[in-house]
């Protein structure tokens, strides 16, 4: 588990139920940066501004989506014929066919030569549904604090030096963690990339038939839904590796190879 100053965990460290959690989901937040190396998973995990650990959530969903569009037919025909003269000949033939079709009542139908073209910039989304049911006052307090952390860091920070600008909220990296031997995080989290927090939904109404409040009137049950969007476009690491990397990790690699030289990023 993380040891930085701003570390929040549910149930809190030392709690009697802490050791009953076999797998955690740990969120690492770091200050916004335009420098590539500070946007990598390794950098954020090693130097987080704050860390939040919760029992593995009720739901974690990763949405993978690529954007394809229909490209123009002219370039496609040039490639297929091997020269522009061939393309010109096709256009002349097509014009004759259309003219003949027009005068004969429209019996000729042109074939669709449009290619499907990949557009760059695909970013995955990661959604979580988290239930935190407190069994005592300390748990209720930290559960509410964690809810406020996610809520607050969904919004920009007021820039005290300017009325016209704001500071970007934190960037995040999250992964499944465990102290158990033989644990493989990617089985549980799919190795997310550096992300920004887009949406936070907090339900403070009681769930799972729990009482309404603790003795000090803190909610004893919270339901939180989070939506993260990866900060930079996702791409394959290459060299036959089943790994996705982002632009920052691609720029900080060594030896000019597509994939990491020894299985680790520097």
Question: 222 and 128 in one domain?
Answer: yes
Angle between helices 84-103 and 73-81 (to 10 degrees): 120
What is the predicted pLDDT for the residue at 265? 38
Question: What's the pLDDT at 98?
Answer: 73
Closest CA to 194 of 155, 233, 151: 233
**pLDDT score, position 5:** 65
264 within a domain of the structure (yes/no): no
Whether residues 144 and 233 share a domain: the answer is yes
- Rounded to the nearest 5 percent, the helix, strand and coil shares of the chain are 25, 30, 45
Confidence of residue 209 (pLDDT cuts 50, 70, 90): low
Cα–Cα distance measured from residue 250 to residue 254, given in angstroms and rounded to the nearest whole number:
9
230 within some domain: yes
Query: 177 and 71 in one domain?
Result: no
Region 131-143 average pLDDT:
91
* pLDDT classification of 255: cutoffs 50, 70, 90: very low
Per-residue confidence band for 264, with pLDDT thresholds at 50, 70 and 90? very low
Per-chain mean pLDDT for the chain? 83
Q: Is residue 152 part of a domain?
A: yes
**Residue scoring higher pLDDT (35 or 169):** 169
The model's pLDDT over 217-248, given as tens digits with 9 standing for 90+, comes to: 777 889 999 999 999 999 998 888 888 999 88
Give the chain's end-to-end CA distance (angstroms, integer): 22
Structure tokens at 240: 């036959």
Q: How far is CA 260 from the centre of its chain?
A: 21
23 in a structural domain: yes
Q: Do 152 and 112 share a domain, yes or no?
A: no
Q: Which residue has the higher pLDDT, 152 or 253?
A: 152
The reply to whether 37 and 136 lie within a common domain is yes
One domain for residues 84 and 211 = no
108 in the same domain as 143: no
Task: Say whether pLDDT at 28 is over 90.
Answer: yes
Selected residue with higher pLDDT from 110 and 175:
175
Q: What is the pLDDT of residue 73?
A: 54
142 with 168, same domain: the answer is yes
Q: For 52-107, what is each residue's pLDDT tens digit?
A: 999 999 999 999 999 888 876 545 555 555 555 566 777 777 777 777 776 776 66
Does the pLDDT of residue 250 top 50, yes or no? Answer: yes
More confident: 50 or 204: 50
Span 46-57, average pLDDT: 96
Output the pLDDT for position 105. 67
- Comparing CA positions, the residue from 121, 127, 128 lying closest to residue 65 is 121
Q: What is the pLDDT of residue 220?
A: 83
Q: What percent of the chain has pLDDT over 90?
A: 50
Distance CA 220, CA 215 (A): 10
- Are 35 and 81 within one domain? no
Domain holding 177, by residue range, is 7-60+124-239
Q: Which residue has the tokens 């100053």?
A: 5
Torsion angle of the four alpha carbons 193, 63, 121, 192, in this order, in degrees rounded to the nearest 10: 0
């Amino acid at each position: 588990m993380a040891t930085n100053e701003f570390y929040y965990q549910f149930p809190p460290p030392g709690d009697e139920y802490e050791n009953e959690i076999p797998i955690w989901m740990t969120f690492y937040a770091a200050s916004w940066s335009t420098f590539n190396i500070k946007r990598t998973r390794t950098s954020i995990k090693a130097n987080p501004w704050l860390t939040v650990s919760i029992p593995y959530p009720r739901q974690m969903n990763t949405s993978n989506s690529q954007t394809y569009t229909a490209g123009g037919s002219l370039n496609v025909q040039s490639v297929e014929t091997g020269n522009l003269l061939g393309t010109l000949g096709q256009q002349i033939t097509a014009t004759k066919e259309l003219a003949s079709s027009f005068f004969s009542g429209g019996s000729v139908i042109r074939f669709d030569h449009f290619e499907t073209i990949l557009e760059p910039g695909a970013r995955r989304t990661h959604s979580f549904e988290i239930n935190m049911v407190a069994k005592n006052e300390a748990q209720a307090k930290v559960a509410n604090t964690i809810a406020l952390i996610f809520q607050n860091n969904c919004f920009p920070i007021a820039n005290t030096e300017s009325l016209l600008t704001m500071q970007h909220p934190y960037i995040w990296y999250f992964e499944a963690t465990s102290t158990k031997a033989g644990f493989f995080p990617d089985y549980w989290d799919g190795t997310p990339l550096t992300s920004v927090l887009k949406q936070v939904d907090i339900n403070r109404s009681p769930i799972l038939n729990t009482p309404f409040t603790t003795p000090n009137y803190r909610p004893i049950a919270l339901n939180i839904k989070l939506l993260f969007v990866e900060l930079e476009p996702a791409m394959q690491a290459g060299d036959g590796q089943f790994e996705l990397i982002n632009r920052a990790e691609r720029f900080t690699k060594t030896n000019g190879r597509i994939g990491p030289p020894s299985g680790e990023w520097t």
